[in-house]
Amino acid sequence: MKVLVAVKRVVDYNVKVRVKSDNSGVDIANVKMSMNPFDEIAIEEAVRLREKGLVTEVIAVSCGVTQCQETLRTAMAIGADRAILVETTQELQPLAVAKLLKALMDKEQPGLVILGKQAIDDDCNQTGQMLAALADLPQATFASKVEVADGKAIVTREVDGGLETIAVNLPAIITTDLRLNEPRYVTLPNIMKAKKKQLDVFKPEDLGVDVVPRIKTLKVSEPPKRSAGIKVPDVATLVDKLKNVAKVI
């Protein structure tokens, strides 16, 4: 069984994000980029399934600029067998990515697709669900535990009320939550091996997919700076200010 894992190149989570001076978007010039943390978890889970003998091949996929090859090399250093880059300079929105992944699914015929539940740059949490709808396949989102057996995936998922366990028939789409696993440390020998692994490059038009954005960003701005707090001398004053100034009680 093949597993397709989508990975995204994002601004590193340790970097303080800055908005462009014209408020058109986030400034990524000379900023450290890395793999989306949720996608690292997805790659790790796929590799663990292969190590258990449940999966024969792990294919990492990324969509975006040429530099996404670095992200794919990292995925292969973690343990992916080969990689596919859908190269484009166009801004990719969740629906466009879902369509590209659907086209690759038709080409590769994987038994399982694993994605991070969301990317830390746009926080959309949409691609996995859109892909499931386009492919007409069962989905299990926010997975904190995955077991594969007898043509099914048993997935424990995190919901508002606690945990929910569901069974989905394969092929299926799974999106990963933070508590699913802890990605392994990438060693230098594996980084060197990743350089020799197969990496195929396609264009969106090669897959017959239109990736023109359907949503326009009007303005991006930083959140307002938090104002300084004040000290009150007693409880009566606190209650008065909550009631008459903040108007929360």
| Average pLDDT taken over every residue of the chain | 92
Q: Which residues 6+ apart lie within 8 Å of 41 measured at CB?
A: 116, 176, 177, 178, 180, 181, 183
Q: Is the dihedral of CA 238, 241, 246, 249 positive or negative?
A: positive
Residue 112 and residue 132: Cα distance in Å, rounded? 11
210-247 per-position pLDDT tens digit: 999 988 888 888 888 888 888 889 999 999 989 988 88
Q: Residue 212 corresponds to which tokens in the numbers above? A: 């023109």
Domains defined for the chain, CATH in brackets: 2-244 (3.40.50.620)
21 has a pLDDT exceeding 90: no
Residue pLDDT, tens place only, 90-140: 889 999 999 999 999 999 999 999 999 999 988 999 999 999 999 999 999
- Res. 30: pLDDT tops 90: no
DSSP characters for the chain? -EEEEE--EEE-TTSPP-B-TTSSSB--TT--EEE-HHHHHHHHHHHHHHHTTS-SEEEEEEEESTTHHHHHHHHHHHT-SEEEEEE--SPPPHHHHHHHHHHHHHHH--SEEEEES--TTT----HHHHHHHHHT--EEEEEEEEEEETTEEEEEEEETTEEEEEEEESSEEEEE-GGG--PPPPPHHHHHHHTTS-EEEE-GGGGT-----SS------PPPPPPP----SSHHHHHHHHHHTS---
At 26, is the pLDDT very low, low, confident or very high (cuts 50, 70, 90)? confident
Using alpha carbons, list the distances in angstroms from residue 34 to 6, 41, 180: 14, 13, 20
Rounded CA-CA distance 109/102 in Å is 10
Determine the residue type at 210: D
CA distance 239 to 221: 34
pLDDT of residue 27: 86
pLDDT at residue 245, rounded to an integer: 86
- Whether the predicted pLDDT of 39 surpasses 90: yes
How is 101-119 classified by DSSP, letter by letter?
HHHHHHHH--SEEEEES--
Q: How far is residue 20's CA from residue 29's CA, in Å, rounded to a whole number?
A: 10
pLDDT given for residue 110 in this prediction = 94
pLDDT in tens, 43-73: 999 999 999 999 999 999 999 999 999 999 9
Q: How far apart are CA 133 and CA 237, in angstroms?
A: 55
Whether residue 193 is predicted with pLDDT greater than 90 in this model: the reply is: yes
Contact, 20 vs 28, CB < 8 A?
no
pTM of the model: 0.84
The pLDDT tens digits of the residues spanning 145-154 come to: 999 988 999 9
Rounded Cα distance, 226 and 217, in Å: 25
